[in-house]
Structure 1
Amino acid sequence: MTLTIGLLALMALPWAAAQPVNPVKIGMVGPLSGPSSDFGKPMLQGIELAVEEINAVGGYLGRPLNLVVKDDRGDPDAGLQAARELTAEGVVATIGYCNTGVAMKSLEVFQQAQSPLIIPCSTGTPLTSTYPAPQSYIFRTSARDAIQAPFVVDDLVRRGWTKVAVFADTTGYGEAGLKDVETALAKKNLKAVYVARFALGVKDLREQLTAARAAGANVVFSYTVGPENATIAIGRRDLQWDVPQVGAWPLSFPFFIDGAKQAAEGALMAQTFIAEPSNERRAAFLSAFVRKFKQKPAVPMAAAQAYDSTYLLTYALFGIRNGKFGGPAVKAALENIPRVYYGVVATYEHPFSLEDKDAISQNMLVMGKVRNGAVTFANPEDAKRNLFVQRKQ
């Protein structure tokens, strides 16, 4: 596969001397069961695909990468226990977390253990701002909500949808997302005409939707990760309230698209990756994924971001020539990746630094749209721009 060419070049460097053949342990944690498994499983699959490719060309100087996998079930306490187990088992770094609330409860474990964590899915803004950047061991390859929310708000304003009703769940994800939406609206001199808060598992939001309609809303901005997005869409349909539903990337999840069915049509969301073979890298990734797993990724963004995260970690490890993977050494290597990685989501040139632990910038985002039960480009100009993989700005 073309994405492994850079690793082959690294393997050919003069310092690639023989090393003891003991595996390099990499942690993985995410919701492999429970209500968030529809994006936890694709995250794991993306990591597994990258590990298979990397090991096929020699791993780290002849040492295979070995995944240590933990299921957090989307539960904060399970996520915390997984963090403790992974750091105790001596993984060189961990790739994981899909739920902001789960990740938030576990950050201190990684930070105190000086064990790097790369987050490929969770988007809550506080995750990479909890600790001062120079000291932080928390890295991320997903688009934080502080850039997703204003990106979507900009699109709404261009379309003339300025009377916004925000529906946010009461998890850490919904709480942080609501703040980011309100901040983005305020920068446009706007304020939500209605705000609804709800717990996960709610089955009927028609009362809140009726109130939003009465407040004059002409668009619903939803911030939740599970079936509740579908509950909102179905509620709008039942009320025959024909206004658009927009949001962050969870509107691309099966829980929404399959759960809401026809009511999901036309929904708009921020995306870093849309599963269309728009260039050679993305075509290669998608075909390799289907060959390995006999299916397309259920949540393409989760799979692609996790795949890129695994390669970025490996590129960083090649910057440690003596094979001594202490936490500070791996942190410094991630902050100073010497080679450009031509990834699926982006072209990564110095994705992290001492002062910046987020690899994704707003220019990498496109608007996705649910059409015929799948996510495609909402805007023709995004489809054209997507022919060229973006770099961080």
Structure 2
Amino acid sequence: MNISLKALVAALALCASTAAIAAEPIKIGVSGPFTGGSAPMGVSMRDGVKLAAAEINSRGGILGRQIQLIERDDQADNSRGIQVSQELINREHVVATLGFINTGVSLAAQRFYEEAKIPVINNVATGSIVTKQFLPPQYPDNYVFRTSANDTIQSALIVNDAIDKRKFTKVAILADSTNYGQLGREDLEKALAAKGIKPVAEEKFNIKDVDMTAQLLKAKQAGAQAILTYGIGPELAQIANGMEKLGWKVPMIGSWTLSMGNFIDNAGKNGEGARMPQTFIQEPNTPKRKAFITAYQHAYKVDRIPSPVSAAQGYDSMYLLAAAIKQAGSTDGPKIREALENLHTKVDGVITTYNHPYTHDNHEAITMNMTVMGEVKNGRVAYAYDADLGTPAQEKKQVKTHPKK
């Protein structure tokens, strides 16, 4: 083989090698509880992400590469969440992760993404502190983002509905013993204090508790006119069913998890009328939402999405991440973070059209005016107020204050 032929062979081999590298998929982690009491949230989020990824891949992927989702079940367990994060980062070499459903898991596990300088978008976890763990000056750059309504927003809406709109003056708080429940309880207390209201009773319960009689009796004896809740579906259903057993019915107004399928199904008629903040309600009131709902129902052979909020937020998080990778022209963690903080193009999501959703100092994509109150009606979540049905969150402008660096 002469020198020129050898050079040609070497060049072709290099081109083939380069093409192979360029064609390698972009690995993105998807972390959440796909089993257990939190599964409706985790599965719906995962399926929303998968739907978005499939759409993006069908259009050629990102940077000419296909998305490969690496799914892991964290079982809503903090220790398992830590293990999953380390595995996704160190073994799977993901460029980013979407997920974290449970606030406690997020707070325990997302530090590994911060250390590795790999972005993570919390698309369901709502604890107010979630995006504030890694702030300056100790951490010059924060790699934790969010596409869900944080508990500061939710607690304000819950209290507004109970105190301002429905004129209750005596409310009790029932919250589970997890980080999610107790941090949410604190946010409720602050929101009530701003209205000059102190809860007449505050009670705690544990995951898998099936008897809320003691907690409900204390609330009843204290004269509570409404129960404000922070927990997840199965235990929330026990609260609704416990009131029925006591022959005592007052409104339940709580965090977005009152929309979970396993609350609605387990509570049955006792769950009717429960209200909660929602970023998305399964109502085809815009073309984008209609297309998303139809695609989800077709892909997963369901009528009612188990957790519509989780599905929509998961879907939108994938599109936001894809836009950042495309803008960065790279899968390098710091470059993706920088792009997320300064997205040049609008991203058409299910919840809203995102227009510069993040800055260096603000990693919250969802604002108060994008969130509406939902209500359980006839076994589904509907708009609590007709006015919100006419002006869905997607049509509302993002109203945000972006602090300068």
TM-score range, shorter chain: over 0.9
Distance 1:384 1:31, change over 3 A: same
Alignment of 1:120 onto 2:123: yes
Per-residue deviation, 1:155: 1.1
Q: 1:80 is matched with which residue: 75, 78, 82?
A: 82
What is the aligned partner in structure 2 of residue 66 from structure 1? Answer: 68
Deviations 1:357-389 (A, max 9, x none): 010000011110001110000111111111852
Cα distance between partner residues in 2 of 1:275 and 1:138: 28
Aligned residue type for 2:343: I
Size of the aligned set, in residue pairs, is 375
TM-score computed with the length of structure 2 as normaliser = 0.90
Cα distance between partner residues in 2 of 1:351 and 1:44: 22
Classify the secondary structure of the residue corresponding to 1:66.
strand
What is the aligned partner in structure 1 of residue 134 from structure 2? Answer: 131
Per-residue deviation, 1:226: 3.4
Q: 2:42 is matched with which residue: 40, 43, 59?
A: 40
Q: 2:113 is matched with which residue: 89, 110, 115?
A: 110
Instruction: Work out whether residues 174 and 223 of structure 1, in 8 Å CA contact, stay in contact via their aligned partners in 2.
Output: yes
Task: Give the greater-gyration-radius structure (CA).
Answer: 2
Cα distance between partner residues in 2 of 1:53 and 1:18: 23
Cα distance between partner residues in 1 of 2:355 and 2:21: 28
What is the aligned partner in structure 2 of residue 150 from structure 1? Answer: 156
Q: 2:324 is matched with which residue: 306, 316, 328?
A: 316
Per-residue deviation, 1:215: 0.6
What is the aligned partner in structure 1 of residue 360 from structure 2? Answer: 354
Which region of structure 1 is more displaced relative to structure 2, 284-293 or 44-53? 284-293
Instruction: Work out whether residues 19 and 63 of structure 1, in 8 Å CA contact, stay in contact via their aligned partners in 2.
Output: no
Cα distance between partner residues in 1 of 2:249 and 2:238: 15
Alignment of 1:221 onto 2:228: yes
What is the aligned partner in structure 1 of residue 289 from structure 2? Answer: 282
Instruction: Work out whether residues 31 and 74 of structure 1, in 8 Å CA contact, stay in contact via their aligned partners in 2.
Output: yes
Alignment of 1:198-213 (within 5 A): 198-213=205-220
Instruction: Work out whether residues 25 and 67 of structure 1, in 8 Å CA contact, stay in contact via their aligned partners in 2.
Output: yes
Instruction: Work out whether residues 18 and 62 of structure 1, in 8 Å CA contact, stay in contact via their aligned partners in 2.
Output: no
What is the aligned partner in structure 2 of residue 159 from structure 1? Answer: 166
Instruction: Work out whether residues 268 and 370 of structure 1, in 8 Å CA contact, stay in contact via their aligned partners in 2.
Output: yes
Classify the secondary structure of the residue corresponding to 2:173.
strand
Cα distance between partner residues in 1 of 2:393 and 2:206: 40
Cα distance between partner residues in 1 of 2:390 and 2:68: 38
Aligned residue type for 2:324: A
Aligned residue type for 1:342: D
Alignment of 1:187-336 (within 5 A): 187-296=194-303, 297-321=305-329, 324-336=330-342
Classify the secondary structure of the residue corresponding to 1:112.
helix
Distance 1:331 1:305, change over 3 A: same
Per-residue deviation, 1:328: 0.9
Classify the secondary structure of the residue corresponding to 1:20.
helix
TM-score computed with the length of structure 1 as normaliser = 0.93
Instruction: Work out whether residues 97 and 122 of structure 1, in 8 Å CA contact, stay in contact via their aligned partners in 2.
Output: yes
Classify the secondary structure of the residue corresponding to 2:149.
coil
Alignment of 1:376 onto 2:378: no
What is the aligned partner in structure 1 of residue 52 from structure 2? Answer: 50
Classify the secondary structure of the residue corresponding to 2:306.
coil
Deviations 1:204-236 (A, max 9, x none): 111211111111110000100131101100111
Cα distance between partner residues in 1 of 2:344 and 2:27: 22
Gaps of 5+ in 1: 1-16
Classify the secondary structure of the residue corresponding to 2:283.
coil
Instruction: Work out whether residues 278 and 387 of structure 1, in 8 Å CA contact, stay in contact via their aligned partners in 2.
Output: no
Q: 1:25 is matched with which residue: 6, 24, 27?
A: 27
Deviations 1:10-51 (A, max 9, x none): xxxxxxx99821101111100011221111101110000000
Distance 1:259 1:152, change over 3 A: same
Gaps of 5+ in 2: 1-18, 400-405
Aligned residue type for 1:23: P
Deviations 1:275-315 (A, max 9, x none): 00001110011111112112142111100000000000001
Instruction: Work out whether residues 38 and 232 of structure 2, in 8 Å CA contact, stay in contact via their aligned partners in 1.
Output: yes
